[in-house]
Structure formats: C-alpha cells, structure tokens
A and B are shown apart, each in its own frame.
Chain A
C-alpha cells in the first residue's frame, strides 16, 4: 500500500516536474527568438515569406470555415430566438458569438491544423537532417533565422485571418438569416451595429494575437526539440497539435473571464 502510494505520487511528481521544465524551456526559446528580433541581422524577408506561407496559404480554409460557422449560427440562433419571439436579435447574436469567441478560436484551430503542424514537422526534419547544425556551423543562428520568423508570422497572421473569418461569417449569417429565414434586414444590421461595441472587437484581436503567440511558441518548440528520428518528428507533430488546441481553449477561458 505504502509502496503503491509512493509510486503514484512519484509518477505525478515526475511528470509535473518534467512538464514544468519543458514549459520553461519553451518559454526560454520564445524569449530568445524575441531577442533575435531586436538584434542584427534583420530577418525581414524571412518574416514576410513565413507570413505569406502561413497567412495567404490559410485564406481559403479560413473563409470556408468562417462561412459555415456563420451559416450554422444563423440557423441555430434563429431556432432558439424564435422560441422567445425575438428573431430580430439574430444579427447581434451572430456577431457577438463570432467576434468574441468563435472567430478567434476556430481560426486558431484552422491555423494549428494547417500551419502549426507543418511548422513542427519542418523544423523537426531540419533537426533530423542536421540542417539546424549546418546553420550553426555557417554562423547563422537557427533561433533567429528559423524560429523567430515563424512565431512572428503566427502572431501577425492570426488577427488578420480572424478579421477575414469574422467578415465572411457575418456575411454568411446575413445571407441565411435574412434571405433564407426571412429576418428583417434592417433589424439584423441595426441590432448588430448597436450591440457590438469596439470593446468586443478589441477582445477578438487580443485573443487572436495571444493564440498566435501560443501556437507559434508551442509548434516551433516541439520541432526544435524533437527527437532526431522519424518517429520523433511524427510524435512531436501530434503533440504540438494537441497541446496547441488545448492551450488555445484554456487561454480562451482565461481571457474571456478576464474581460467579462
């Protein structure tokens, strides 16, 4: 009995320590990347290239998810609001849900799936094939050249993608709500304009930037520290995606409760 308890608590302690240690290591890597941003050499072209790869590459998928989210919200919202006879609130209901919550979270998920996984896999493969070591031997800091542009790109790209998600989602909600379900167009827009404050938009983009930072930090760290084998990279990619999704939801809860 005593040995069992020791065993259980020992295991809990060990895994807590190791996750704390890894969190610390990941934070240090991101901080080093941040330092590299302010130190020469200037990596402008690499940041732009990553922005293009992550941002422009994710446009279509973000637009599609945004459209369907708006459409579903319109259907579901109409169904619920109709029970209270307040269909006219549909516009503000859709807008608040998308701008405050669903836009940042769903866009973050899409970015994780589309870009986060490839960031981890790419850096992990560079580790396996010694490309990171080769950079070091050519006196190029891989943290500045590889890690920093990717973190920065996710931080900048996600708020922009969220903006597109929001616009497309609202437009799709309008089409379903007004054209299909017959909500009055004036009421839809009017409610939306009066109920959505600048603060709601601010929350949206603050969340998006936070999620972007989280995704960039997690996915680059998993790649950078991946075990230098094929399975190591595969495992790192899975773990990076899962942990990114979970931490986005946790951070979302924290930020939402903070701003309410």
Chain B
C-alpha cells in the first residue's frame, strides 16, 4: 500500500531518519519499534505527509507520491487515512463527542442521529461511552488517547497511523487498545502502521516489524524473525539489556572520561 524509497529526514546536522526503503503491505499491521529518539515519530510523520522529506519518495498505491503532491491532492487522500498522535492532539475547544464526530461533520452530510450512533459505537469500543460531555482538559492522558483512537477510526479509514498507542495507558486499556488494533486488522482489513517501544505488545500484534536505531533500519521481518534474530542489537533491544552493542548514552566519550577532562 505504501512503498517508501530512499526516504530520509535531517534536522540540521542530525540525521533523524537515514535513507530507508520500506514496504507497508495492505491489510497488514506494520510495527515500527526502536528506543526513544530513534526517529520513529519522524518516520511516521513522513509517511503521513506531515513532515517534508529531505530525500526520497513515498508511493501510495503505487501511483500517488506523497513527498511531492499538491495540498488538495493530499487532503483528498487523507480522507482515507487516520492518525493517533503520541499526545492525542484532541481539539481543545471541542468536547469528547464533538472531537470524535469532527471528521464526520467535516466530510459527510450524515444526519446528526446517524453520527451520534456512530460516535457512541466507537466510544463504546474504546470504553469511553459516558464521557462524551467532558472537555479534553478534563481527561487523563490515557482517556484522551482512547478518544483519539475513536476519532481516528470514526471514518473507517483504510490506513491508520498510531504513534505510541499504548504508552501512558494503564495495562488493561493498553491491552484493549492493542487487541483492538489487532482485531481491526483481522476483521476490517485495516492497514495500520504502529510506532511503539513496547516490545511485547508490538510483537504480539505485528504482521511485520521494522526495528529502528538512530534513524537506521537495523532489522525487518515478521515477529518470529525478530524474536529469533541473532543480531546482537536486535537481541539487546527485545530483551531490554542495559549492556550490549547499543550504547545507552549517545555520547562518544564515556562519562567518567568527560568528568576527568572537566566535562
């Protein structure tokens, strides 16, 4: 569905995403994993066309190039996409109900009673029915995330991007959300791209895993491939070892040496 060629993004001197070739297949759940600061969010924003690529192309359905498409063309395509942001990004001036109904109010002529039914169904799915009159400022992080989830799915999109869908959620809600992503993939044939640093949840729902490290793709394959990989960097990441080829700190010189040299 999405084919990425040689895609990269720089912020000044920092190479946030190194030139990457990625293929996201239709009806699959692709999980992008990596430590914090490894460029997961940047990659996701590039895929969604929210960030300008420094190089490369993103082909949607093999015919639309998201990296150089007109604004109106992009808006057209986005009606088929959804996104759950890392910090939910609910519209502050609207309450929960209006937030979830927003895409429908914008792009459909549906009757308000139909919209209400659809919104309530989605809120029920994420366990947020009964909270529809609260404002985003009155929600906890986890509740806001679940509302964002309902909002992203309300238009039944074909392609949904999830940025850390389970972080900040309690274990039960996190479980509900991961199994929801999984179920959606199986039942409604949704194509989802999930960014997470939660290894267990990620491997559980993934049809395909992409492992990022400092902007580079270091491993790619099914959850099984990743579980049984013998790349020491992959092993260190999925086992959560403090020691290994991936340094915990990004600095070149060890801290004790820097300390002796007067920082």
> What is A's interface to B at a CB cutoff of 8 Å?
41, 125-126, 129-131, 133-141
Contact = CB atoms under 8 A, between A and B. Distances in A.
B131 interface: no
Contacts of B92: 125-126, 129, 131
B81 interface: yes
Contact of B89 (A129, A139, A140): A129
Given A130-B85, A134-B83, A134-B85, A139 B75 contact: yes
7 contacts: A129-B87, A129-B92, A130-B86, A134-B89, A136-B50, A138-B106, A140-B106
B106 A139 contact: yes
Given A129-B92, A131-B91, A131-B92, A139 B107 contact: yes
Contacts of A125: 92
Contacts of B103: 138-139
Interface residues of B, number: 23
B59 interface: no
A137 B91 CA distance: 13
B101 to A, nearest CB: 11
Contact of B48 (A41, A126, A137, A141): A137
B215 interface: no
Contacts of A138: 78, 102-103, 106, 151
Given A137-B78, A139-B75, A139-B78, A131 B106 contact: no
Interface in B133-171: 151
Q: Determine which residue in A126, A131, A136, A139 has the highest number of CB atoms from chain B within 10 A of its CB, and name it.
A: A139
Interface string B204-228: 0000000000000000000000000
B229 interface: no
Contacts of A135: 91
Shortest beta-carbon contacts, A-B, top 5? A134-B89, A130-B89, A139-B78, A137-B83, A139-B75
B22 to A, nearest CB: 20
A133 B106 CA distance: 16
Contacts, number: 49
A136 B89 contact: no
A141 B70 CA distance: 13
Q: Determine which residue in A129, A135, A137, A141 has the highest number of CB atoms from chain B within 10 A of its CB, and name it.
A: A137
Q: Determine which residue in A126, A131, A134 has the highest number of CB atoms from chain B within 10 A of its CB, and name it.
A: A134
Contact of A139 (B79, B87, B91): B79
Given A131-B89, A141-B71, 15 more contacts: A129-B87, A129-B89, A129-B92, A130-B86, A130-B89, A131-B90, A133-B85, A134-B83, A136-B75, A136-B78, A138-B102, A138-B106, A139-B103, A139-B106, A141-B75
Contacts of B75: 136, 139-141
B82 interface: yes
B49 to A, nearest CB: 8
A138 B50 CA distance: 12
A227 to B, nearest CB: 13
Contacts of A129: 87, 89, 92
Contact of B50 (A126, A133, A139, A141): A133
B82 A137 contact: yes
Contacts of A139: 75-76, 78-79, 103, 106-107
Nearest to B45: A133
Nearest to A39: B72
Nearest to A140: B106
A130 B88 CA distance: 8
A169 to B, nearest CB: 34
A202 B195 CA distance: 59
A54 to B, nearest CB: 15
Interface in B80-118: 81-83, 85-87, 89-92, 102-103, 106-107
B89 A133 contact: yes
B98 to A, nearest CB: 13
A190 to B, nearest CB: 51
A233 to B, nearest CB: 14
Contacts of B106: 41, 138-140
Contacts of A141: 71, 75
B48 A134 contact: no
A129 B75 CA distance: 21
B87 A130 contact: yes
Contact of B91 (A41, A134, A136): A134
B156 to A, nearest CB: 14
